[in-house]
Structure 1
Amino acid sequence: MTVDADELRGKVTEFLAANDPAQMDRLEFLRARFDAGLAWVHFPAGLGGLGAARELQPVVDAAFAEAGAPDNKPQLNVIGLGMAAPTILRFGNDEQRRRYLRPLWTGEEIWCQLFSEPGAGSDLAALSTRAVRDGDEWVVDGQKVWTSLAHQARWAILVARSDPDQPKHKGLSYFICDMTAPGVEVRPLRQITGEAEFNEVFLTGVRIPDAQRLGEVGQGWQVALGTLMNERVAIGGRAPAREGGMIGLAAQAWREHPEKRTHGLHDRLLRLWVETEATRLTSIRLRQQLAVGEPGPEGSAVKVAYSEQNQAITGFELEFLGEPGLAYDDWTFRQPEYTDFVKRGPGFRYLRAKGNSIEGGTTEILRNIIAERVLGLPPEIRTDKDRPWKELPR
């Protein structure tokens, strides 16, 4: 099915004529939008889409925004929308797609990601959470960490070791885990900002039906790679408006405080602006590339750039503002629905940006990916490639 921008605008107009958001319950409206194929337009018909080109999504979103229609609050379900949904679409069966995609998109069900462990972060394939087959179920035991949204999530995408006799990349399987199941315990992790965006999750005898497995048994690493590529695209492929994001806040501070300006700081701000604009344009090219294929390693480069630039910009902002910039509202412990970088002020932004080079893949690991998969450099020497996981030192 080929649909152009004008046709999509017409479909939105027709939909709004039959579904007045002012007269409908928010959830009812979002469900109707999904069923009309106007959720993520590049998904197949019947699964929230029309099989249209991915780059036409902003056309639909803008048309709904202009009409004052409610959105699905994407900032509250970034893992579900950016990572779980494309993974389910690619590796799930028809029943799984029908069950999970609609409530995921509408925000009825929040998702989290159970990947990293205390002993398996950058080297994710070394994870030790076990999944043991028991008839039509799997019994899962282990610990996950740095889990965003676990305290709100209904479902999780989970990678666990199903065969310790295989090398570490081959003995993994991928599951959809019910976060309300017996044996799932979520504990908050307090950050330097005073917030607890992240959690640690303990899995003790958690039973997962085999019907909630994505991909084949032992194919978990391949499925996880697809998820991680989408994660880096979700982080690096979001192109803010020109002079938006962190650089926009720094530029605003510059305009508001002419008395603090120096030639040296002006030069730094200009360099940061140029670097950020180059990354923004690269993000736009990345989104255009996604319209014609699967995500690749290019998202890693953009994610590295944004991480380093956010840290440099927030450092500049604090140096420019001086002591007033360090003012922080409070250190009250909280678990926010999502992080608001603007309202919390420059001191918060400076502290929070430190995590950008760790979350979503460390800068060091992403540079390795770029070196091997983009530049074609030889991979690092590994001694564990063909050894069974259970024989590896831990």
Structure 2
Amino acid sequence: MIELEAGPEVEPSQAEAFRQEVRAFLAANLTKELADAPRTSLLISEIPQQEWHRILAAKGWATPSWPVEFGGTGWSAEQHQVFEEELSRANAPPLSAFLEMIGPVLYTYGTEAQISRHLAPLREGEILWCQGYSEPGSGSDLASLRTRAVRDGDDYVVNGQKIWTTYAHQADWMFALVRTSTEGRPQAGISFLLIDMTTPGITIRPIRSIDGLHHLNEVFFSDVRVPVDNLVGAENAGWTIAKFLLEHERSGVGSLLTLKGQLDRVRAVADAAFDLTDPGQAREHGAIDYALCECEITLQALDAFNQRQAALSVRRAVHPAGPSMMKLAVTEVQQKIAELGVRALGIDALRDQSALVENYRPELMRGPPGGALVMLHYLFGRAFTILGGTSEIQRNLIFRSVGASASAP
């Protein structure tokens, strides 16, 4: 496994110079259309995401956390922090979450041929990926998955179904877990495959989620032939890779800077929604603002925890429960912020404006500015404590990890 080394320390004057460099780049390259692209926790459309990805890639800034030999920047932790702060301040579009999932898998476990074929197009924003993990009846209990891949000469023949597959209808490739053996423990018979989404036998059906938008899908595989060369790692060793990827997914669910932006949006909606000359409305506004301050304090504490984890990683001393702890805490405060947004919207929370958001018609949206996105974030946000492993699963993982550490000599 490749470990990222800490970059050089940056003096305060150097950090400020780097901040000015990032700001100048954003001023020259981040258009109003990209900054205003509608989003909840995700961008509503992949078009501005990929456009911004290609702009960053041309500068060499699309994958700053990757090792330098694979296109990373070699920045220090402070430079990473400055970069993220400035992107958040400018409201730059977030890049695909899968970038930091399949990328590390490829450069850690992939063959030279897989790295050569896939890593550069991923880094440059030329292709989109989706994740084939969950199945009907196999979500939190991922080891029970039933999609089969049977070896037939130089191919695997894949049959089965995946569900809740984000952006499968737009993706060029899928990284998927498939069952290649029924011998022994369920985890021991799982393999990790890369699947070209244009392969015959793949059917994609849309799922409209509770927010009214289309970003989820069902994916069906009927005698889909996948070259054996697309196997990542050894056959039946996919569970190890899956756990490695899930650590990246859990760490990436709900960026703290993205959450700070969502908190600011809810605060702006609340400020616009209440008449502070009315004592009753002023009291309700004060209660919401107090709760938002509590959320902001939580985000600051989580940011300190993140920085501690980064410092520990330099000494290869990160606690194994760290990703689960972050995933649990971040998703719960994410939902609390969204609930406060609904409370601030009041009667306007009943209005369905998803179609206007999807087609980006802000002039037709009703209620306080930003209210439609607050509502959509609340609706899809109910899934945040489920996707990437439920909160209950995270608590179990934390308990086991802490228990193992406590009993270690």
Tell me the TM-score normalised to structure 1 length: 0.77
- Aligned counterparts, 1:300-379, within 5 A: 300-330=324-354, 342=370, 344-376=372-404
Please name the residue that 2:142 is paired with. 124
The match for 1:85 is 103
- What is the CA–CA distance in structure 2 between the aligned matches of 1:321 and 1:343, rounded to whole Å? 7
What residue in structure 2 maps to residue 133 of structure 1? 151
Rounded to whole Å, the distance in 1 between the matches of 2:219 and 2:82 is 39
Match of 1:248 among 239, 261, 264: 264
The 5 Å alignment of 1:241-280 reads: 244-256=260-272, 257=274, 258=276, 259=278, 261=281, 263=283, 266-267=286-287, 269-280=289-300
How many angstroms does 1:375 deviate by?
4.9
**1:47 correspondence with 2:75:** no
Q: Taking structure 2 as the reference length, what is the TM-score of the superposition?
A: 0.75
Q: 2:199 aligns with which of 181, 192, 197?
A: 181
Question: Aligned-pair distance for 1:235?
Answer: 1.0
Matches of residues 187-266 of structure 1 in structure 2 within 5 Å? Answer: 187-236=205-254, 238-240=255-257, 244-256=260-272, 257=274, 258=276, 259=278, 261=281, 263=283, 266=286
Q: Which whole-Å CA distance do the structure 2 matches of 1:45 and 1:333 have between them?
A: 38
Q: Secondary structure at the match of 2:170?
A: coil
- Cα distance in 1, alignment partners of residues 284 and 137 from structure 2: 44
Q: Secondary structure at the match of 2:384?
A: helix
Identical pairs, percent: 30
Q: Deviations over 1:9-68 (max 9, x none)?
A: 78x97xx99xx979xx9888655434xxx44344333411254545533456778999x9
**Equivalent position SS for 1:356:** coil
Q: Mind listing any 5+ residue stretches in structure 2 that lack a counterpart?
A: 31-50, 361-368
- Per-residue CA distance 1:287-313 (angstroms, 9 max, x = gap): 552453578432222222232233333
SS in structure 1 of the partner of residue 383 of structure 2: helix
The structure in which a higher percent of residues are helix is: 2
Q: How much does 1:181 deviate? A: 1.0
2:256 maps to a residue whose letter is: A
Q: CA RMSD in A?
A: 3.9
Query: Structure 1 residues 342 and 305 mapped into 2: Cα distance closer, same or farther (>3 Å)?
Result: farther
Q: What CA distance in whole angstroms lies between the structure 2 residues aligned with 1:286 and 1:265?
A: 31
User: Amino acid of the residue matched to residue 113 of structure 1?
Assistant: Q
Change (3 A) 1:56 1:137: farther
Q: Shift of residue 262 of structure 1?
A: 5.3
Report how far residue 266 of structure 1 moved.
3.2
Q: Rate the CA distance shift 1:31–1:261 in 2: closer, same or farther, 3 A.
A: closer
Cα distance in 1 between the residues matched to 2:340 and 2:83 = 37
Q: Measure the CA separation in 2 of the matches of 1:135 and 1:189.
A: 35
Structure 2 residue identity aligned to 1:173: S
Q: 1:111 aligns with which of 129, 133, 150?
A: 129
Q: 1:239 to 1:118 in 2, by over 3 A?
A: same
161, 165, 170: which one pairs with 2:179?
A: 161
Alpha-carbon distance change, 201 to 335 in structure 1, aligned in 2, over 3 angstroms: farther
User: Is this contact kept in 2: 1:115–1:124, CA < 8 A?
Assistant: yes
User: Structure 1: 5+ residue runs without aligned partners?
Assistant: 379-394
Distance in 2 between residues matched to 1:150 and 1:302, nearest whole Å? 27
1:57 to 60, 76, 80: 80
The amino acid of 1:150's aligned partner reads A
Once residues 217 and 162 of structure 2 are traced to their aligned partners in structure 1, the CA distance between those partners, rounded to angstroms, is: 9
**Deviation readout 1:200-252 (Å, 9 max, x if unpaired):** 1111111222221111111100000011110010115x2227x8233323322
